Structures are given as structure tokens and as C-alpha cells.
Amino acid sequence: MTLQARSILVTGGTGSFGKKFVETILTRFPEIVRVVVFSRDELKQFEMAQEFSPRRFPQIRYFIGDVRDKARLGRALEGIDLVVHAAALKHVPVAEYNPFECIQTNVLGAQNLIEACLDNGVRKVVALSTDKAAAPINLYGATKLCSDKLFVAANNMKGKRVIQFSVVRYGNVMGSRGSVIPYFLKKRHEGVLPITDPRMTRFNITLLEGVQLVLAALDLMWGGEIFVPKIPSYRICDVAAAIAPACRQEIVGLRPGEKLHEEMITETDALNTIEFGKYFVILPALPLWDVAEFMAVHQGHYCQPGFNYHSGTNPDFLTVEQLRELIREHVDPTFHPLRPPVA
């Protein structure tokens, strides 16, 4: 696979996804001569530059900026071919308490980026979404649904510009900042793991799988698609058992804006969704290209009536042992479960 580009910019480039994506670009695509890390946190940029230094990787640039600042985006996008938009305020309880801050970054920031890309000759844009954008019940999910709609609709306003906008939507990223696995790994030494609800399920994807999905979208996109990967689910109690079977599980209740289960494709979305081997594609609401041709090229078919993609009814669930293997491979290679003492 080739990205057929000379320059790429990643918003939120110092986040968990951004760092992994930049690492992948630097090691797998030597033909790319400029990789711009765009983010607002100077400390995170300083720390990332210790790992990916401009001396070792002369193609990398660290650009301080906020997606709320359209002028700064415009400056950063000069000469950029591809954009991956990973910047977001994503913590559900924080968004519930600070709703307009989340709106300014996730919605207004998305529109700023779209307009700046249109003004600067960018060729492809892929925006990261979340399962919380499907049938949202919290502010974060609602803002990401708005963002998804903005990026899909941006294809309608490109005029004669050679540019495509698409979205990738996936579930919880294993080991990302603020996610449950690092939290449980820290809390296990206290002897108690807080469980919101024993019935809770979530989709699971590794950072590398998330990066691979974005790279596939950049390669396959026609513009306006929402790409959804086929990934496993886990039960929150199984995560606790995988990490610390010795710990007592304390039920604490759902947090503000939290669901028992997540969806990535609702039953209504499925009416406009095509299934492929490793992923689904939710089609743009307003036709942008020939769907029959798209299905023929990528060998897909429409989803069955009544289908939905739901973490609780997903046919693929991770076992406790599979979770342990994934934690060792993707989170902490020294990980061992905290077991009860032998009597």
C-alpha cells in the first residue's frame, strides 16, 4: 500500500493514536517528506520530540496550534497533501460538565479544519470518530455525530477541488489514555476494582488496528464514507478478571452520559450500509458516486434488514485469556494478573 503523498498532517498528533500513527508513517512510508504533528500541548510535543526527534527524523515538524484557531490551521496546512483528524475532547463526564468547550473543539474545530483544507489544496482528509456517535446519549457522542456529518457533507461543497473527506468510526482503544485497562492496572494494587455495571460491554481495538484502519481508508476512500471495522467486544467484568482476579469488584453505577452497551451501526444506519470482508461502510446520505460501482470494486453487499452492530450482541467476544495476551502485547509487556494468594 502507498499513500501517494509527500506530506501529511495529524491533528491531535501527540495523543495515543497520533503518536502511533506518526510512528507508523515514519517507519513504513519513507517517501513522505513532511509529517506535521499539530497539537496544543507544548509539554506533550516536547516529550514526543525526545522519542521522534527532528534530528533522527528530519521530515517531522511539531506545530503548536488548536483546531479552534482557523488561521493557525491554515498556516499549518500549507503544502499538505493528506490530513488525519484525531484532535478531540473525548472524556464523557468532562464533556457533560463542560459542554460548550467540547462543542468548540469537536464541532466548530471540525468545521475550521474542513474550511482550511478546502482553502489549502489538501487532497484527502480522514476524521476519527467513535462508537458513541451512533445513537448518542451523551454530549461527546453528539458532538462526534455532528463532526461526522460535517466531514461527510464537506464533499458536497468542494466544487472543482480535488479533495475527499471520509470518516473512520471504532470502539474503545486498548491502552489509550483514560481508558479502562490502564485504570484497572493502577487500581488493582488497592485490592478493589470499581465496576460501573456487571452487564457492561464495549468494542475493543488496538492502537495498531486503529492506525491500519485509517491507512486503509486513505487508500480506499471515494469520499463521504464512514468506515467501521469488524472488531471484538469484551465484558467489563472479564477485563477485571483478566487483570486482577484477586481483587474485589465493587459496583459503582454508570457515570453521567454512559451507556451499558455501545453501537457502531444502528438498525437505521444499516439500511444504508455495505458490508465488506473486514469492515462496513456507511454510505453518505446524499449520493456522491455510483454505489453499485463502489460495491463491485470493493466486493461488498448491503447489510441484511434488521442488522445492527452492537457491542452486547457482537458474535465475537474476547475471553479472559485473550484479554491478558492483548494487554501484554499492546499495553504492558511485563503484565501478570494479580492472583489471590495461595492458602
Q: Alpha carbon of 11 to those of 1, 30, 113, 286: distances in Å?
A: 23, 20, 9, 27
- Domain membership of residue 338 (yes or no) is no
Q: Of 47, 282, 292, which is closest to residue 170 (Cα–Cα)?
A: 282
Buried b (16+ CB within 10 A) or exposed e, 295-323: beeeebeebeeebbbbbbebeeebebeeb
CATH, residue 138: 3.40.50.720
- Domain membership of residue 343 (yes or no) is no
Tens place of pLDDT per residue across the chain (343 aa): 567 789 999 999 999 999 999 999 999 998 999 999 999 999 999 999 999 999 999 999 999 999 999 999 999 999 999 999 999 999 999 999 999 999 999 999 999 999 999 999 999 999 999 999 999 999 999 999 999 999 999 999 999 999 999 999 999 999 887 789 999 999 999 999 999 999 999 999 999 999 999 999 999 999 999 999 999 999 999 999 999 999 999 999 988 888 999 999 999 999 999 999 999 999 999 989 999 999 999 899 999 999 999 999 999 999 999 999 999 999 999 999 977 665 5
> What pLDDT score does 178 carry?
74
Q: Which domain holds residue 159?
A: 7-330
> What pLDDT score does 294 carry?
93
- Domain membership of residue 341 (yes or no) is no
In whole angstroms, give the CA distance from residue 103 to residue 214. Answer: 24
253 Rama class: left (phi>0) / alpha (psi -120 to 50) / beta: left
> What pLDDT score does 341 carry?
63
- Domain membership of residue 291 (yes or no) is yes
Structural domain count of the chain: 1
Alpha-carbon torsion 47, 53, 54, 55, what sign? positive
- Domain membership of residue 342 (yes or no) is no
Burial class (CB in 10 A: 0-12, 13-18, 19+), 285: exposed
Residue 132 annotated as catalytic: yes
- Domain membership of residue 21 (yes or no) is yes
User: From the candidates 132, 144, 149, 230, which is the catalytic residue?
Assistant: 132
- Domain membership of residue 144 (yes or no) is yes
- Domain membership of residue 249 (yes or no) is yes
Position of cell 461527546?
140
